[in-house]
């Protein structure tokens, strides 16, 4: 009887450890993005290949506009991103103002949305950078694909 009880306790401990490993840490780890947020710096020029388009509440970057989103306390603001001519073998890293916000895996063309955090919704102009690294390794800082686009956050005027 004592051996059965010890076995049950051991089994419960294993289950608890396994469940705690699956628990959301709540430390900002979203979509495989590392919790450590270090500002990245990129080469001054975008790569020649590739194309990026931002769609926001008010504007589309490919039409020469500066897309605009509005800072509202009660709303959830998103940016829609469309890209072409990506490497199908590499992860695509998405940065806003130099900080990683999302990673995507996809093909030659990729479309997705990013939900903007409070930091990314501060009033002003923000830069979104889409990056693919050589050998799929951001540690090398060797960029094989880099496209940037900007968006603006404005405050809603209450008349």
The model's pTM is 0.73
Q: pLDDT tens across 1-46, in order?
A: 667 676 667 665 566 555 554 433 333 344 445 555 789 999 999 9
DSSP character string of 73-111 = SS---EEEEEEES--TTSEEEEEETTEEEEEEE--SEEE
Regions of the chain short of the pLDDT cut 70: 1-2, 4, 6-8, 10-36, 63, 73-75, 157-159
């Amino acid at each position: 009887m004592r051996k059965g009880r010890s076995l049950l306790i051991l089994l419960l401990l294993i289950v608890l450890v396994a469940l705690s490993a699956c628990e959301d840490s709540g430390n900002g780890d979203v979509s495989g993005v590392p919790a450590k947020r270090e500002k990245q710096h990129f080469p001054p020029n975008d790569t020649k290949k590739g194309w990026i388009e931002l769609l926001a509440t008010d504007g589309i970057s490919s039409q020469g506009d500066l897309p605009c989103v509005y800072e509202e306390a009660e709303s959830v603001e998103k940016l829609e991103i469309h890209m072409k001519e990506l490497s199908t073998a590499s992860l695509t890293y998405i940065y806003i103002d130099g900080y990683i916000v999302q990673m995507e895996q996809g093909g030659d063309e990729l479309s997705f949305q990013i939900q903007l955090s409070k930091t990314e919704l501060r009033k002003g102009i923000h830069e979104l950078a889409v990056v693919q690294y050589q050998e799929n390794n951001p540690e090398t800082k060797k960029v094989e694909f880099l496209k940037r686009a900007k968006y603006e956050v404005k405050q809603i005027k209450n008349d």
